[in-house]
Amino acid sequence: MFKSFVLVVSTLFCVASAHAAEFVPKAESVVDNVYAIVGPLGQRNQDNDGSNATFGFIVTAQGVILIDSGASKLGAEKIAAAIAKVTDKPVRWVINTGSQDHRWLGNDYFASRGAQIIAMKRTAATQAEFAGQHMQMLAGFLGARLDGTLPLPATTLLDGNEASVELGGESLTLRYTDTHFPGDAWVWLPKRNVMFTGDLVYVDRILGVLPWSSVKNGKKAFHALEALNPKHIVPGHGGVCDLAKAKRDSGNYEDFLADVIGKAAQDMEPLDATLNKYADLPQFKHLHNFSDMHRANMNRAFVEFEAN
């Protein structure tokens, strides 16, 4: 009797912990027929299949428009399952806002089910350029969970710095932000007052500045976003929010990196002393990943402004 009780308890515990670990994406409504799928705030790992980002989709009479496709085939399947809970319409179009793994490595999965894969021209070029590096990095921690993932850069390419498309009766405008990765873009639904920012806006967690990111472009793009005054923001990472929150968590941080750290670099202040001086920032330190990323972010911003 006692033994079987222990067995039952330990079995229950295993089932419960397996469920707690694996991230299951879920759709949440933004406005009528527009949804967000908000990923976890931590770093990429096995449990989130590398998809620690926020995605979105729009249900039209003619099918679903998906904004970004996840970091792997398995990640894409999970996104498809979240969409299937809301509508039985197929994903007919995928728009990529960027070239970081979680923005596009699920493209092949949706393309093989008949979706058209759309992006700005330079977004697709950066996807092709970074594909090998991203696959190698993901293989390092996803292992067999990356099986079946084939990097497919977007195939329907949009010219110009800004381009509008009509899909299923929805008007969408893409525009380069060139922030986190070269060729990053936002997707703006002017009639709905909804902005999918891609990796321009992170909320609840600190944004990341990578060696190929541009703080100058980020600052400029955020001010251009502000001028559109979107009512609903679906950020690249973190939960759906309003403009004030996007500004608090990302816009003001881009301004800080450019106006304070960038200026220190241009004034030829010493790097180490500058990083030490601004290590503790009460207005941003509540953001997830702050202690891991803030110093490296400042360092890269410094280098960008020092070079120019």
Instruction: Name the helix (H) or strand (E) containing 208.
Output: none
CA angle 287, 290, 296 (to 5 degrees): 145
Distance CA 157, CA 170 (A): 18
Helix (H) or strand (E) holding 160: none
94 closest CA partner among 137, 34, 156: 156
Q: Tell how strand 232-234 and strand 194-196 pair up.
A: parallel
**Residue nearest Zn ion, CB atom distance:** 199
CA atoms within 13 A on the CB side of 147: 3
* Span from 88-96, 119-127, 196-204, 284-292 in contact with Zn ion (CB under 5 A): 196-204
Residue number, 96 or 100, with CB nearest to Zn ion = 100
From 81-89, 95-103, 219-227, 249-257, give the range in contact with Zn ion by CB under 5 A: 95-103
If the CB atoms of residues 69 and 274 are measured against Zn ion, the closer one turns out to be 69
Going residue by residue from 45 to 84, which x/- string records binding to Zn ion, judged by CB under 5 A? Answer: --------x-------------------------------
Structure tokens at 69: 């496709």
- The nearest distance, CB 152 to Zn ion, in angstroms, is 18
Q: Which are the contacts of 208, defined by CB distance < 8 A and separation ≥ 6?
A: 180, 202, 289, 293, 297
Window contacting Zn ion (CB under 5 A); options: 59-67, 100-108, 130-138, 290-298 = 100-108
**What's the rounded Cα separation, in Å, for the pair 191 and 170?**
8
Q: Are strands 27-31 and 34-37 parallel, antiparallel or unpaired?
A: antiparallel
Task: Please return the burial class of 58, using the count of CB atoms within 10 Å of its CB with bins 0-12, 13-18 and 19+.
Answer: buried
- Least distance to Zn ion, CB of residue 112, Å: 24
Q: What tokens appear for 263 in the block?
A: 């200026």
Shortest Cβ distance from residue 75 to Zn ion (Å)? 13
Q: Which is nearer to Zn ion, 142 or 275 (CB)?
A: 142
- Among 101, 184, 199, 304, indicate the residue that binds Zn ion (CB under 5 A): 199
101 binds Zn ion (CB under 5 A): no
Q: Kindly tell me which of 51 and 274 has the beta carbon lying closer to Zn ion.
A: 51
**Which one of the spans 94-102, 109-117, 145-153, 253-261 is the region binding Zn ion (CB under 5 A)?**
94-102
Among 48, 99, 100, 274, binds Zn ion (CB under 5 A): 100
Write down the least CB distance from residue 67 to Zn ion, Å.
Answer: 13
| Part of the chain binding Zn ion (CB under 5 A), chosen from 18-26, 92-100, 250-258, 299-307 | 92-100
Q: How many residues bind Zn ion (CB under 5 A)?
A: 3
Which residues contact Zn ion by CB under 5 A?
53, 100, 199
